[in-house]
Chain A
Amino acid sequence: MAYSDKVVDHYEHPRNVGALDKNDETVGTGLVGAPACGDVMKLQIKVSAEGIIEDAKFKTFGCGSAIASSSLVTEWVKGKTLEEAGQIKNTEIAQELALPPVKIHCSVLAEDAIKAAIADYRAKSGKSDDSAAAE
Protein backbone atom coordinates (compact mmCIF):
# COMPACT_ATOMS: atom_id res chain seq x y z
CA MET A 1 0.00 0.00 0.00
CA ALA A 2 1.49 3.35 -0.98
CA TYR A 3 1.23 6.04 1.68
CA SER A 4 1.30 9.74 0.92
CA ASP A 5 4.44 11.60 1.95
CA LYS A 6 2.45 13.46 4.60
CA VAL A 7 1.27 10.24 6.20
CA VAL A 8 4.82 8.91 6.26
CA ASP A 9 6.02 12.20 7.73
CA HIS A 10 3.49 12.03 10.58
CA TYR A 11 4.42 8.41 11.20
CA GLU A 12 8.13 9.11 11.41
CA HIS A 13 7.83 12.52 13.11
CA PRO A 14 4.52 12.52 14.95
CA ARG A 15 3.47 15.81 16.46
CA ASN A 16 2.28 16.17 20.04
CA VAL A 17 2.65 12.57 21.16
CA GLY A 18 2.07 12.19 24.85
CA ALA A 19 -0.39 12.62 27.65
CA LEU A 20 -1.96 15.36 29.71
CA ASP A 21 -3.24 14.80 33.22
CA LYS A 22 -6.76 13.54 32.69
CA ASN A 23 -7.69 14.48 36.22
CA ASP A 24 -6.84 18.14 35.56
CA GLU A 25 -10.10 20.05 35.26
CA THR A 26 -8.80 22.01 32.27
CA VAL A 27 -8.13 18.82 30.31
CA GLY A 28 -10.63 17.03 28.13
CA THR A 29 -9.91 13.41 27.11
CA GLY A 30 -11.47 11.57 24.19
CA LEU A 31 -10.88 7.80 23.79
CA VAL A 32 -12.47 6.28 20.69
CA GLY A 33 -12.24 3.09 18.68
CA ALA A 34 -11.54 -0.48 19.79
CA PRO A 35 -8.51 -2.78 19.58
CA ALA A 36 -10.55 -5.44 17.79
CA CYS A 37 -11.18 -2.96 14.98
CA GLY A 38 -7.48 -2.16 14.78
CA ASP A 39 -7.89 1.53 15.67
CA VAL A 40 -7.82 3.25 19.07
CA MET A 41 -7.22 6.99 19.45
CA LYS A 42 -6.74 8.92 22.66
CA LEU A 43 -6.87 12.66 22.15
CA GLN A 44 -6.45 15.19 24.96
CA ILE A 45 -6.90 18.97 24.97
CA LYS A 46 -5.91 21.56 27.55
CA VAL A 47 -8.33 24.44 27.50
CA SER A 48 -7.67 27.94 28.78
CA ALA A 49 -10.14 29.91 30.87
CA GLU A 50 -11.16 31.77 27.69
CA GLY A 51 -12.11 28.53 26.00
CA ILE A 52 -9.07 28.33 23.71
CA ILE A 53 -7.25 25.04 23.23
CA GLU A 54 -3.72 25.71 24.51
CA ASP A 55 -2.25 22.28 24.12
CA ALA A 56 -3.18 18.92 22.63
CA LYS A 57 -1.66 15.46 22.91
CA PHE A 58 -2.47 12.16 21.24
CA LYS A 59 -1.73 8.46 21.38
CA THR A 60 -2.92 6.08 18.68
CA PHE A 61 -2.97 2.33 18.16
CA GLY A 62 -3.53 1.88 14.44
CA CYS A 63 -2.09 2.00 10.97
CA GLY A 64 -0.04 4.82 9.48
CA SER A 65 -3.16 6.67 8.30
CA ALA A 66 -4.71 6.54 11.77
CA ILE A 67 -1.54 7.83 13.38
CA ALA A 68 -1.27 10.62 10.83
CA SER A 69 -4.95 11.61 11.21
CA SER A 70 -4.71 11.98 14.97
CA SER A 71 -1.31 13.68 14.83
CA LEU A 72 -2.67 16.20 12.32
CA VAL A 73 -5.73 16.93 14.45
CA THR A 74 -3.57 17.83 17.46
CA GLU A 75 -1.76 20.35 15.25
CA TRP A 76 -4.98 21.84 13.94
CA VAL A 77 -6.81 22.29 17.24
CA LYS A 78 -4.10 24.27 18.98
CA GLY A 79 -5.13 27.90 19.21
CA LYS A 80 -8.73 27.20 18.23
CA THR A 81 -11.79 27.70 20.35
CA LEU A 82 -13.79 24.67 21.36
CA GLU A 83 -16.46 25.60 18.82
CA GLU A 84 -13.94 25.92 16.02
CA ALA A 85 -12.26 22.65 16.93
CA GLY A 86 -15.63 20.92 16.97
CA GLN A 87 -16.16 21.96 13.38
CA ILE A 88 -13.15 20.14 11.98
CA LYS A 89 -14.46 17.70 9.35
CA ASN A 90 -12.99 14.32 8.58
CA THR A 91 -13.06 15.23 4.90
CA GLU A 92 -10.59 18.02 5.57
CA ILE A 93 -8.26 15.60 7.34
CA ALA A 94 -8.58 13.03 4.56
CA GLN A 95 -7.87 15.62 1.91
CA GLU A 96 -4.83 17.02 3.69
CA LEU A 97 -3.33 13.57 4.07
CA ALA A 98 -4.48 12.29 0.67
CA LEU A 99 -6.08 9.26 2.29
CA PRO A 100 -7.31 6.55 -0.08
CA PRO A 101 -10.97 5.48 0.23
CA VAL A 102 -10.13 2.42 2.31
CA LYS A 103 -8.53 4.71 4.95
CA ILE A 104 -11.22 7.39 5.18
CA HIS A 105 -12.51 5.78 8.38
CA CYS A 106 -9.24 6.82 10.09
CA SER A 107 -10.11 10.46 9.52
CA VAL A 108 -13.66 9.84 10.79
CA LEU A 109 -12.23 8.39 13.98
CA ALA A 110 -9.97 11.42 14.42
CA GLU A 111 -13.01 13.71 14.09
CA ASP A 112 -14.81 11.54 16.66
CA ALA A 113 -11.79 11.77 18.96
CA ILE A 114 -11.68 15.55 19.02
CA LYS A 115 -15.44 15.76 19.54
CA ALA A 116 -15.16 13.28 22.40
CA ALA A 117 -12.38 15.33 24.02
CA ILE A 118 -14.45 18.50 23.73
CA ALA A 119 -17.51 16.76 25.16
CA ASP A 120 -15.46 15.44 28.04
CA TYR A 121 -14.08 18.88 28.85
CA ARG A 122 -17.54 20.40 28.73
CA ALA A 123 -18.96 17.70 30.95
CA LYS A 124 -16.19 18.23 33.48
CA SER A 125 -16.39 22.00 33.51
CA GLY A 126 -20.19 22.10 33.38
CA LYS A 127 -20.67 19.99 36.49
CA SER A 128 -19.44 20.46 40.04
CA ASP A 129 -18.28 16.86 40.49
CA ASP A 130 -15.79 15.25 38.15
CA SER A 131 -18.07 12.97 36.14
CA ALA A 132 -16.74 10.11 34.07
CA ALA A 133 -15.15 10.88 30.74
CA ALA A 134 -15.79 9.03 27.47
CA GLU A 135 -13.85 6.08 28.80
Chain B
Amino acid sequence: MTAHVPPTNAPSTEPGLTPVLTRRPGMPIYLDYQATTPCDPRVVAAMLPWFTEKFGNPHSRNHAYGWEAEEAVEQARAEIAALIGADAKEIVFTSGATESNNLAIKGAAHFLREKRDHVVTVVTEHKCVLDTCRHLEQEGFRVTYLPVQTNGLIDLNQLADTLTDRTAVLSVMGANNEIGVLQPLAQIGALCRAKGVLFHSDGAQAAGKIPVDVNAMNIDMMSLSGHKIYGPKGIGALYVRRRPRVRLVPLINGGGQERGMRSGTLATPLCVGFGTAAALARVEMASEAERLLALRNRLLAGLEQRLPEIYVNGDLEQRLPGNINISFAFVEGEGLMMGIKGLAVSSGSACTSASLEPSYVLRALGLSPEMAHTSLRLGLGRFTTEEEVSTAIDQIAEAVEHLRGLSPLWEMHQDGIDVSTVQWAEH
Protein backbone atom coordinates (compact mmCIF):
# COMPACT_ATOMS: atom_id res chain seq x y z
CA MET B 1 0.00 0.00 0.00
CA THR B 2 1.24 3.43 -0.83
CA ALA B 3 0.63 5.88 1.99
CA HIS B 4 2.43 8.27 4.19
CA VAL B 5 2.97 6.37 7.43
CA PRO B 6 3.06 8.64 10.46
CA PRO B 7 5.62 8.05 13.26
CA THR B 8 4.54 5.09 15.33
CA ASN B 9 4.37 6.76 18.72
CA ALA B 10 1.61 9.16 17.95
CA PRO B 11 -1.51 8.47 15.96
CA SER B 12 -1.29 11.52 13.78
CA THR B 13 -3.95 12.79 11.52
CA GLU B 14 -2.66 14.45 8.42
CA PRO B 15 -5.47 15.82 6.37
CA GLY B 16 -4.85 16.42 2.71
CA LEU B 17 -2.88 13.22 2.14
CA THR B 18 -5.34 10.93 0.40
CA PRO B 19 -4.21 7.40 1.05
CA VAL B 20 -4.23 4.88 -1.78
CA LEU B 21 -5.18 1.24 -1.66
CA THR B 22 -3.43 -1.01 -4.17
CA ARG B 23 -5.69 -3.73 -5.49
CA ARG B 24 -4.21 -7.22 -5.64
CA PRO B 25 -4.03 -8.70 -9.16
CA GLY B 26 -7.12 -10.71 -10.04
CA MET B 27 -9.27 -9.20 -7.31
CA PRO B 28 -12.45 -7.32 -8.25
CA ILE B 29 -12.95 -3.59 -7.77
CA TYR B 30 -14.30 -3.10 -4.26
CA LEU B 31 -17.65 -1.33 -4.30
CA ASP B 32 -19.10 -2.75 -1.10
CA TYR B 33 -18.08 -0.11 1.42
CA GLN B 34 -21.29 -0.54 3.42
CA ALA B 35 -20.36 -4.15 4.13
CA THR B 36 -16.96 -3.25 5.49
CA THR B 37 -14.03 -0.95 4.82
CA PRO B 38 -10.30 -1.59 4.68
CA CYS B 39 -8.31 -0.14 7.54
CA ASP B 40 -6.84 3.20 6.59
CA PRO B 41 -3.04 2.75 6.47
CA ARG B 42 -2.76 5.53 9.06
CA VAL B 43 -4.99 3.50 11.37
CA VAL B 44 -2.84 0.39 11.05
CA ALA B 45 0.31 2.39 11.70
CA ALA B 46 -1.20 3.77 14.89
CA MET B 47 -2.26 0.29 16.07
CA LEU B 48 0.97 -1.62 15.57
CA PRO B 49 3.01 -0.60 18.63
CA TRP B 50 0.18 -1.77 20.88
CA PHE B 51 0.55 -5.42 19.88
CA THR B 52 4.13 -6.32 20.70
CA GLU B 53 5.80 -3.27 22.15
CA LYS B 54 3.23 -1.52 24.34
CA PHE B 55 1.18 -4.59 25.14
CA GLY B 56 0.02 -3.83 28.66
CA ASN B 57 -3.48 -4.35 29.97
CA PRO B 58 -5.07 -0.92 30.21
CA HIS B 59 -6.68 -1.90 33.51
CA SER B 60 -3.35 -2.75 35.19
CA ARG B 61 -3.12 0.08 37.68
CA ASN B 62 0.29 -0.52 39.12
CA HIS B 63 2.86 -0.20 36.39
CA ALA B 64 3.92 1.70 33.31
CA TYR B 65 2.67 -0.96 30.90
CA GLY B 66 -0.86 -0.49 32.20
CA TRP B 67 -0.60 3.29 32.45
CA GLU B 68 0.55 3.81 28.88
CA ALA B 69 -2.14 1.49 27.55
CA GLU B 70 -4.79 3.23 29.59
CA GLU B 71 -3.69 6.61 28.30
CA ALA B 72 -3.95 5.41 24.70
CA VAL B 73 -7.42 3.98 25.28
CA GLU B 74 -8.61 7.20 26.88
CA GLN B 75 -7.26 9.24 23.99
CA ALA B 76 -9.15 6.98 21.58
CA ARG B 77 -12.27 7.30 23.67
CA ALA B 78 -12.05 11.08 23.45
CA GLU B 79 -11.69 10.97 19.65
CA ILE B 80 -14.73 8.74 19.32
CA ALA B 81 -16.75 11.02 21.57
CA ALA B 82 -15.70 14.07 19.56
CA LEU B 83 -17.00 12.43 16.39
CA ILE B 84 -20.55 12.59 17.71
CA GLY B 85 -20.39 15.58 20.03
CA ALA B 86 -20.38 13.51 23.20
CA ASP B 87 -18.28 13.50 26.35
CA ALA B 88 -15.55 10.86 26.60
CA LYS B 89 -17.17 9.52 29.79
CA GLU B 90 -20.21 8.65 27.73
CA ILE B 91 -18.39 6.18 25.46
CA VAL B 92 -18.48 2.46 26.28
CA PHE B 93 -16.25 0.22 24.17
CA THR B 94 -17.83 -2.98 22.86
CA SER B 95 -16.97 -5.68 20.33
CA GLY B 96 -18.97 -3.97 17.61
CA ALA B 97 -22.27 -2.39 16.71
CA THR B 98 -24.16 -5.67 17.06
CA GLU B 99 -23.16 -5.88 20.70
CA SER B 100 -23.84 -2.16 21.16
CA ASN B 101 -27.35 -2.54 19.73
CA ASN B 102 -28.04 -5.48 22.01
CA LEU B 103 -26.71 -3.62 25.04
CA ALA B 104 -28.63 -0.45 24.32
CA ILE B 105 -32.03 -1.95 23.58
CA LYS B 106 -32.03 -4.87 25.99
CA GLY B 107 -30.15 -2.90 28.62
CA ALA B 108 -32.63 -0.02 28.62
CA ALA B 109 -35.71 -2.21 28.33
CA HIS B 110 -34.61 -4.45 31.17
CA PHE B 111 -33.80 -1.49 33.40
CA LEU B 112 -37.20 0.06 32.81
CA ARG B 113 -39.29 -3.06 32.63
CA GLU B 114 -41.30 -2.51 35.79
CA LYS B 115 -42.78 0.71 34.54
CA ARG B 116 -42.50 0.35 30.76
CA ASP B 117 -43.15 -2.64 28.55
CA HIS B 118 -43.18 -1.17 25.04
CA VAL B 119 -40.34 -0.89 22.53
CA VAL B 120 -40.53 0.79 19.12
CA THR B 121 -38.30 0.30 16.12
CA VAL B 122 -38.48 0.37 12.30
CA VAL B 123 -38.89 -2.47 9.81
CA THR B 124 -35.75 -1.45 7.92
CA GLU B 125 -33.37 -1.75 10.88
CA HIS B 126 -30.34 -4.03 10.79
CA LYS B 127 -31.07 -7.64 11.68
CA CYS B 128 -29.36 -7.37 15.05
CA VAL B 129 -31.84 -4.67 16.11
CA LEU B 130 -34.84 -6.58 14.78
CA ASP B 131 -33.70 -9.83 16.33
CA THR B 132 -33.02 -8.11 19.67
CA CYS B 133 -36.56 -6.75 19.60
CA ARG B 134 -37.98 -10.18 18.73
CA HIS B 135 -36.11 -11.56 21.73
CA LEU B 136 -37.68 -8.89 23.94
CA GLU B 137 -41.10 -9.89 22.59
CA GLN B 138 -40.44 -13.41 23.77
CA GLU B 139 -39.69 -11.95 27.18
CA GLY B 140 -43.10 -10.28 27.21
CA PHE B 141 -42.38 -6.82 25.86
CA ARG B 142 -44.69 -5.36 23.21
CA VAL B 143 -42.78 -4.20 20.15
CA THR B 144 -44.01 -1.93 17.37
CA TYR B 145 -42.18 -2.18 14.06
CA LEU B 146 -42.90 1.07 12.23
CA PRO B 147 -43.27 0.88 8.47
CA VAL B 148 -41.42 3.25 6.15
CA GLN B 149 -42.60 5.31 3.20
CA THR B 150 -41.60 4.42 -0.34
CA ASN B 151 -38.54 6.65 0.01
CA GLY B 152 -37.41 4.74 3.07
CA LEU B 153 -38.08 7.45 5.65
CA ILE B 154 -40.37 7.00 8.62
CA ASP B 155 -43.52 9.08 9.01
CA LEU B 156 -42.98 11.37 12.00
CA ASN B 157 -46.71 11.72 12.67
CA GLN B 158 -47.04 7.97 12.80
CA LEU B 159 -44.09 7.85 15.16
CA ALA B 160 -45.65 10.44 17.45
CA ASP B 161 -48.84 8.38 17.64
CA THR B 162 -46.89 5.24 18.47
CA LEU B 163 -44.88 6.53 21.44
CA THR B 164 -46.72 6.26 24.76
CA ASP B 165 -45.87 6.64 28.43
CA ARG B 166 -45.25 2.91 28.46
CA THR B 167 -42.60 3.11 25.75
CA ALA B 168 -39.14 2.38 27.15
CA VAL B 169 -36.99 2.97 24.11
CA LEU B 170 -37.17 3.83 20.42
CA SER B 171 -34.46 2.55 18.10
CA VAL B 172 -34.01 4.21 14.70
CA MET B 173 -30.82 3.94 12.69
CA GLY B 174 -29.06 7.05 11.46
CA ALA B 175 -28.27 5.66 8.03
CA ASN B 176 -29.51 2.44 6.46
CA ASN B 177 -26.89 -0.08 5.43
CA GLU B 178 -28.73 -1.25 2.30
CA ILE B 179 -30.26 1.89 0.85
CA GLY B 180 -28.16 4.54 2.58
CA VAL B 181 -31.25 6.51 3.59
CA LEU B 182 -30.87 9.00 6.45
CA GLN B 183 -33.63 9.22 9.06
CA PRO B 184 -34.44 12.68 10.51
CA LEU B 185 -32.59 12.15 13.80
CA ALA B 186 -33.03 15.65 15.22
CA GLN B 187 -36.79 15.58 14.74
CA ILE B 188 -37.05 12.07 16.12
CA GLY B 189 -34.97 13.08 19.12
CA ALA B 190 -37.17 16.07 19.82
CA LEU B 191 -40.26 13.85 19.74
CA CYS B 192 -38.72 11.34 22.13
CA ARG B 193 -37.60 14.06 24.52
CA ALA B 194 -41.11 15.49 24.58
CA LYS B 195 -42.57 12.07 25.36
CA GLY B 196 -39.97 10.92 27.85
CA VAL B 197 -38.85 8.01 25.68
CA LEU B 198 -35.21 6.97 25.38
CA PHE B 199 -33.87 7.44 21.87
CA HIS B 200 -31.31 4.92 20.63
CA SER B 201 -29.82 5.16 17.18
CA ASP B 202 -27.70 2.57 15.39
CA GLY B 203 -25.06 4.93 14.03
CA ALA B 204 -22.79 2.31 12.49
CA GLN B 205 -23.24 3.63 8.95
CA ALA B 206 -23.87 7.28 9.83
CA ALA B 207 -21.17 8.31 12.29
CA GLY B 208 -18.06 9.51 10.52
CA LYS B 209 -19.89 9.98 7.24
CA ILE B 210 -22.52 12.58 8.08
CA PRO B 211 -22.43 15.11 10.94
CA VAL B 212 -23.91 13.74 14.16
CA ASP B 213 -24.40 15.75 17.35
CA VAL B 214 -25.99 13.70 20.12
CA ASN B 215 -26.96 16.80 22.10
CA ALA B 216 -28.45 18.81 19.27
CA MET B 217 -30.28 15.66 18.15
CA ASN B 218 -31.42 14.57 21.63
CA ILE B 219 -29.92 11.11 21.15
CA ASP B 220 -29.64 9.09 24.36
CA MET B 221 -27.67 6.13 23.04
CA MET B 222 -25.81 5.53 19.80
CA SER B 223 -24.10 2.41 18.47
CA LEU B 224 -20.82 2.87 16.64
CA SER B 225 -18.72 0.49 14.55
CA GLY B 226 -14.99 0.56 13.87
CA HIS B 227 -14.88 -1.38 10.64
CA LYS B 228 -17.42 0.84 8.86
CA ILE B 229 -15.12 3.88 9.10
CA TYR B 230 -11.74 2.47 8.04
CA GLY B 231 -10.98 1.17 11.52
CA PRO B 232 -10.41 -2.43 12.59
CA LYS B 233 -13.05 -5.11 12.83
CA GLY B 234 -13.95 -6.43 16.26
CA ILE B 235 -14.42 -3.08 18.01
CA GLY B 236 -17.36 -0.77 18.42
CA ALA B 237 -18.80 1.52 21.03
CA LEU B 238 -22.03 2.56 22.62
CA TYR B 239 -22.61 6.20 23.48
CA VAL B 240 -24.67 6.35 26.69
CA ARG B 241 -25.96 9.76 27.80
CA ARG B 242 -24.98 10.93 31.26
CA ARG B 243 -27.11 14.05 31.53
CA PRO B 244 -29.78 12.97 32.22
CA ARG B 245 -28.20 9.65 33.08
CA VAL B 246 -29.29 6.63 31.09
CA ARG B 247 -29.17 3.42 33.10
CA LEU B 248 -28.67 0.05 31.47
CA VAL B 249 -28.65 -3.52 32.71
CA PRO B 250 -25.36 -4.83 31.33
CA LEU B 251 -25.19 -7.87 29.09
CA ILE B 252 -21.85 -9.03 30.37
CA ASN B 253 -20.92 -9.51 34.02
CA GLY B 254 -17.35 -9.38 35.16
CA GLY B 255 -14.73 -7.01 36.45
CA GLY B 256 -16.91 -3.93 36.04
CA GLN B 257 -14.95 -2.19 33.29
CA GLU B 258 -16.56 0.62 31.31
CA ARG B 259 -18.42 1.93 34.38
CA GLY B 260 -19.94 -1.49 34.93
CA MET B 261 -21.67 -1.44 31.58
CA ARG B 262 -19.29 -3.73 29.73
CA SER B 263 -16.87 -5.94 31.56
CA GLY B 264 -13.81 -7.35 29.86
CA THR B 265 -10.25 -6.29 29.16
CA LEU B 266 -10.14 -3.64 26.49
CA ALA B 267 -8.19 -4.49 23.37
CA THR B 268 -5.81 -1.56 23.32
CA PRO B 269 -4.76 -1.82 19.67
CA LEU B 270 -8.38 -2.06 18.54
CA CYS B 271 -9.40 0.91 20.67
CA VAL B 272 -6.47 2.93 19.34
CA GLY B 273 -7.35 1.97 15.77
CA PHE B 274 -10.97 2.94 16.28
CA GLY B 275 -9.94 6.25 17.84
CA THR B 276 -7.58 7.04 14.98
CA ALA B 277 -10.27 6.17 12.45
CA ALA B 278 -12.73 8.42 14.26
CA ALA B 279 -10.25 11.30 14.30
CA LEU B 280 -9.57 10.92 10.58
CA ALA B 281 -13.28 10.72 9.84
CA ARG B 282 -14.02 13.88 11.76
CA VAL B 283 -11.32 15.86 10.00
CA GLU B 284 -11.96 14.51 6.50
CA MET B 285 -15.74 14.07 6.61
CA ALA B 286 -16.74 17.15 4.64
CA SER B 287 -14.22 16.79 1.83
CA GLU B 288 -14.76 13.05 1.59
CA ALA B 289 -18.52 13.46 1.41
CA GLU B 290 -18.15 15.94 -1.42
CA ARG B 291 -15.82 13.64 -3.35
CA LEU B 292 -18.02 10.59 -2.87
CA LEU B 293 -21.16 12.42 -3.87
CA ALA B 294 -19.54 13.50 -7.13
CA LEU B 295 -18.42 9.93 -7.84
CA ARG B 296 -21.81 8.53 -7.04
CA ASN B 297 -23.59 11.05 -9.21
CA ARG B 298 -21.29 10.13 -12.07
CA LEU B 299 -21.93 6.43 -11.52
CA LEU B 300 -25.68 6.88 -11.56
CA ALA B 301 -25.63 9.23 -14.54
CA GLY B 302 -23.39 6.85 -16.45
CA LEU B 303 -25.77 3.95 -15.87
CA GLU B 304 -28.86 5.99 -16.65
CA GLN B 305 -27.34 7.04 -19.95
CA ARG B 306 -26.72 3.46 -21.02
CA LEU B 307 -29.74 1.71 -19.51
CA PRO B 308 -33.45 2.49 -19.54
CA GLU B 309 -35.79 1.18 -16.81
CA ILE B 310 -33.43 1.44 -13.87
CA TYR B 311 -34.69 2.69 -10.50
CA VAL B 312 -32.95 4.06 -7.45
CA ASN B 313 -34.22 2.53 -4.23
CA GLY B 314 -34.60 4.95 -1.34
CA ASP B 315 -34.49 8.73 -1.16
CA LEU B 316 -31.75 10.20 -3.32
CA GLU B 317 -31.31 13.35 -1.24
CA GLN B 318 -31.53 11.99 2.32
CA ARG B 319 -28.81 9.49 1.66
CA LEU B 320 -25.22 8.61 2.49
CA PRO B 321 -23.01 10.22 -0.13
CA GLY B 322 -21.27 6.98 -1.07
CA ASN B 323 -24.28 4.68 -1.35
CA ILE B 324 -26.53 3.89 -4.28
CA ASN B 325 -28.99 1.01 -4.56
CA ILE B 326 -30.45 0.37 -8.00
CA SER B 327 -32.99 -2.06 -9.43
CA PHE B 328 -32.50 -3.10 -13.06
CA ALA B 329 -35.92 -4.11 -14.35
CA PHE B 330 -36.41 -7.38 -16.21
CA VAL B 331 -33.05 -8.78 -15.16
CA GLU B 332 -32.54 -11.23 -12.31
CA GLY B 333 -30.06 -10.31 -9.59
CA GLU B 334 -28.06 -13.49 -9.23
CA GLY B 335 -27.64 -13.67 -12.97
CA LEU B 336 -26.53 -10.04 -12.93
CA MET B 337 -23.98 -10.73 -10.20
CA MET B 338 -22.56 -13.48 -12.39
CA GLY B 339 -21.97 -11.00 -15.18
CA ILE B 340 -20.06 -8.46 -13.10
CA LYS B 341 -17.32 -10.64 -11.69
CA GLY B 342 -14.86 -7.75 -11.89
CA LEU B 343 -16.85 -5.83 -9.28
CA ALA B 344 -17.37 -6.63 -5.61
CA VAL B 345 -20.89 -5.46 -4.83
CA SER B 346 -23.85 -6.88 -3.01
CA SER B 347 -27.43 -7.60 -3.85
CA GLY B 348 -29.17 -6.95 -0.54
CA SER B 349 -27.35 -6.73 2.79
CA ALA B 350 -24.24 -8.77 3.39
CA CYS B 351 -25.96 -10.59 6.22
CA THR B 352 -28.44 -12.14 3.83
CA SER B 353 -26.13 -12.60 0.88
CA ALA B 354 -25.74 -16.34 1.54
CA SER B 355 -29.44 -16.95 1.05
CA LEU B 356 -30.16 -14.31 -1.62
CA GLU B 357 -33.67 -13.78 -0.27
CA PRO B 358 -35.41 -10.73 -1.65
CA SER B 359 -34.19 -8.00 0.67
CA TYR B 360 -36.60 -7.19 3.50
CA VAL B 361 -35.48 -3.57 3.39
CA LEU B 362 -36.43 -3.22 -0.27
CA ARG B 363 -39.71 -5.04 0.32
CA ALA B 364 -40.43 -2.54 3.09
CA LEU B 365 -40.18 0.23 0.48
CA GLY B 366 -42.97 -1.49 -1.40
CA LEU B 367 -40.81 -3.08 -4.08
CA SER B 368 -42.16 -6.22 -5.72
CA PRO B 369 -40.08 -9.37 -5.06
CA GLU B 370 -38.63 -9.38 -8.56
CA MET B 371 -37.55 -5.72 -8.36
CA ALA B 372 -35.99 -6.45 -4.98
CA HIS B 373 -34.17 -9.39 -6.56
CA THR B 374 -32.72 -7.27 -9.37
CA SER B 375 -31.17 -4.72 -7.10
CA LEU B 376 -27.52 -4.00 -6.65
CA ARG B 377 -26.10 -2.13 -3.69
CA LEU B 378 -23.04 -0.11 -4.68
CA GLY B 379 -21.02 1.44 -1.89
CA LEU B 380 -18.21 3.85 -2.73
CA GLY B 381 -15.56 4.83 -0.23
CA ARG B 382 -12.33 6.53 0.63
CA PHE B 383 -10.23 4.52 -1.81
CA THR B 384 -12.63 4.45 -4.76
CA THR B 385 -11.15 6.08 -7.85
CA GLU B 386 -12.66 7.74 -10.90
CA GLU B 387 -11.31 4.93 -13.05
CA GLU B 388 -13.03 2.30 -10.93
CA VAL B 389 -16.33 4.12 -11.33
CA SER B 390 -15.87 4.18 -15.12
CA THR B 391 -15.15 0.45 -15.18
CA ALA B 392 -18.17 -0.22 -12.98
CA ILE B 393 -20.46 1.66 -15.34
CA ASP B 394 -19.19 -0.37 -18.31
CA GLN B 395 -19.36 -3.75 -16.62
CA ILE B 396 -22.81 -3.25 -15.15
CA ALA B 397 -24.25 -1.82 -18.36
CA GLU B 398 -22.83 -4.67 -20.43
CA ALA B 399 -24.13 -7.33 -18.07
CA VAL B 400 -27.60 -5.80 -17.94
CA GLU B 401 -27.72 -5.47 -21.74
CA HIS B 402 -26.62 -9.11 -22.12
CA LEU B 403 -29.26 -10.34 -19.69
CA ARG B 404 -32.02 -8.24 -21.18
CA GLY B 405 -31.21 -9.87 -24.51
CA LEU B 406 -31.94 -13.18 -22.82
CA SER B 407 -34.99 -12.04 -20.87
CA PRO B 408 -38.57 -12.89 -21.88
CA LEU B 409 -39.77 -10.12 -19.57
CA TRP B 410 -37.69 -7.50 -21.38
CA GLU B 411 -39.04 -8.90 -24.66
CA MET B 412 -42.61 -8.51 -23.43
CA HIS B 413 -41.85 -4.98 -22.27
CA GLN B 414 -40.41 -4.14 -25.72
CA ASP B 415 -43.61 -5.52 -27.25
CA GLY B 416 -45.63 -3.08 -25.18
CA ILE B 417 -46.94 -5.62 -22.69
CA ASP B 418 -47.25 -4.49 -19.07
CA VAL B 419 -45.42 -7.35 -17.40
CA SER B 420 -46.98 -6.65 -14.03
CA THR B 421 -50.44 -7.50 -15.37
CA VAL B 422 -49.51 -10.89 -16.82
CA GLN B 423 -51.15 -13.91 -15.19
CA TRP B 424 -48.43 -16.43 -14.57
CA ALA B 425 -49.13 -20.16 -14.63
CA GLU B 426 -49.10 -22.03 -11.31
CA HIS B 427 -45.58 -23.19 -10.50
Contact = CB atoms under 8 A, between A and B. Distances in A.
Interface in A4-45: 8, 11, 14, 17, 19, 31-42
Interface in A49-75: 59-64, 66-67
Interface string B55-85: 0000000000000000000000000000000
Contact of A34 (B335, B410, B427): B427
For B333, B368, B407, the residue with the greatest tally of chain A CB atoms inside 10 Å of its CB is B407
B330 A32 contact: no
Contact of A14 (B334, B373, B406, B409): B406
B140 interface: no
Contacts, number: 76
Interface residues of A, number: 31
Interface string B373-411: 100000000000000000000000000000001111111
A81 B333 CA distance: 36
B370 A11 contact: no
B424 A64 contact: no
B339 interface: yes
A17 B333 CA distance: 19
Given A61-B332, A67-B335, A33 B419 contact: no
19 contacts: A3-B338, A32-B425, A32-B427, A33-B424, A33-B427, A34-B424, A35-B419, A35-B424, A36-B368, A38-B334, A38-B369, A40-B424, A59-B407, A61-B330, A61-B410, A63-B334, A66-B332, A67-B335, A109-B427
Given A35-B369, A61-B410, 20 more contacts: A17-B406, A33-B424, A34-B425, A34-B427, A35-B370, A35-B419, A36-B368, A36-B370, A40-B408, A40-B409, A42-B411, A59-B407, A60-B407, A61-B330, A61-B331, A62-B332, A62-B334, A63-B338, A67-B335, A67-B406
